[in-house]
A and B are shown apart, each in its own frame.
Chain A
């Protein structure tokens, strides 16, 4: 691994160990929750092989939970996949940030891409050196990938032995995972308004539309709130760029060495949780 230019020569070993400890903490904690996914998938009527394929091939938790939830609710395969895909789109924006920080060789990108998820982004963006970022990304990604897949298999196999999973409250695991992923994103008024509107749409449309469709329509809360917010800001005579501080985790000013878009002053403002992403609270 080439040495990062900004890296200080001293204290490297101690720094490495701290990064590895953080990475293992996130990887193990979240990796173990793959058990909940395996059980949820089995409950939803997904076979053990399908549950394992989901964890191996999709490997982004929220999308996986959303997919099996939609299938259980009777959604068609493409409707269910659309909801899961929209949840996975955010990983593209983590990738943008990580690419600048990791500077991966072209040949490694197809493998590294699979590991670009909430947790690896949170750990990697919190690092101040390229060496730390690469170690954090690799250790978090590999730990999480191995554990998530092993626990998915155990959960899917164990679901039958457990009997009625509702007795054990395991049907609450899926929504709790969503809530835990959502909570760190609710720092701003715009985010909270979006969440509130999405809840109203999601629950209101649920009894009248086929499975999976209400979630897709609830996603329109995001552009709706953004447009309303932009209009209101403009009426008050402010530029629309003024609301950029409302951005969530993707806009966090991480220690990425790009200057950030110039028309986005909010992204440069220091926040208490500077350099962290979603999942930071999970350590």
Chain B
């Protein structure tokens, strides 16, 4: 049940944000500080999420094969690989490192 609550609240919030952008008159949200903050918020959130999902398991910090996978994704991004290839590199390298028994 609590998952459905999370789904509903997030869906409403995210849709409201999308509709707001299309509907408000030009210039209302164009304050420079607001614009910069909204540009930086996803940077902070995505960086924290990337780190947490790579280096944690439950509530504990871990270093496992996902770190190698993320390294492969970073390399693919530096080489300007397309989106799907970046994800594939992360998945394949993680699986390979586990299969070889180099890391859990």
The size of the chain B interface, using a CB distance under 8 A, is 74
Could you tell me if A95 and B66 are in contact, using CB atoms closer than 8 angstroms? Answer: no
Q: Is the interface of A mostly helix, strand, loop or mixed?
A: helix
State in angstroms the CA–CA spacing of A93 and B36 once bound together: 11
Q: Report A-chain residues with C-beta under 8 Å of the C-beta of B29.
A: 92-93, 96
Do B30 and A67 have beta carbons less than 8 Å apart? no
- Place the interface of chain A in its size category: 35 or more
Give which listed residue, B13, B42, B51, B65, contacts A90 with CB less than 8 A. B42
Q: Give chain B residues whose Cβ lies under 8 Å from the Cβ of A93.
A: 21, 29, 35, 38-39
A-B pairs under 8 A by CB, number: 343
* B20–A95 touching, CB < 8 Å: yes
| Bound-state Cα–Cα, A93 to B53, Å | 27
Partner of B3, one of A46, A89, A199, A248: A46
Given the known interface contacts A78-B9, A114-B15, A114-B18, the answer about A251 and B42 at a Cβ–Cβ threshold of 8 Å is no
Q: In chain B, what residue has the closest Cβ to A100?
A: B26
> Do the beta carbons of B45 and A185 come within 8 Å of each other?
no
Does A76 interact with chain B (Cβ within 8 Å)?
Answer: yes
A169, B91: Cβ atoms under 8 Å? yes
A281 at the interface (CB under 8 A from B): yes
B57, chain A: closest CB distance, angstroms: 9
A83 engages B22 (CB within 8 Å): no
A176 to B10: give the CA distance in the assembly, Å. 22
B35 touching A226, Cβ below 8 Å: no
A45-93 residues at the B interface, CB under 8 angstroms = 46-47, 50, 53-54, 57-60, 62-63, 65-67, 69, 71, 73-74, 76-78, 80-81, 83-93
- 4 tightest Cβ-Cβ pairs between the two chains A and B: A95-B21, A202-B48, A169-B94, A169-B95
22 A-B residue pairs with Cβ-Cβ distance under 8 Å, sorted by A, are A29-B84, A33-B84, A58-B7, A67-B7, A73-B52, A81-B6, A83-B45, A88-B13, A90-B41, A91-B21, A110-B19, A113-B22, A166-B98, A172-B90, A174-B53, A177-B87, A179-B50, A179-B73, A191-B39, A206-B52, A222-B43, A244-B36
Query: Which residues of B come within 8 Å of A, CB atoms?
Result: 2-7, 9-11, 13-15, 17-24, 26, 29-30, 32-33, 35-56, 58-61, 65-66, 69-70, 73-74, 77, 80, 82-84, 86-87, 89-96, 98-99
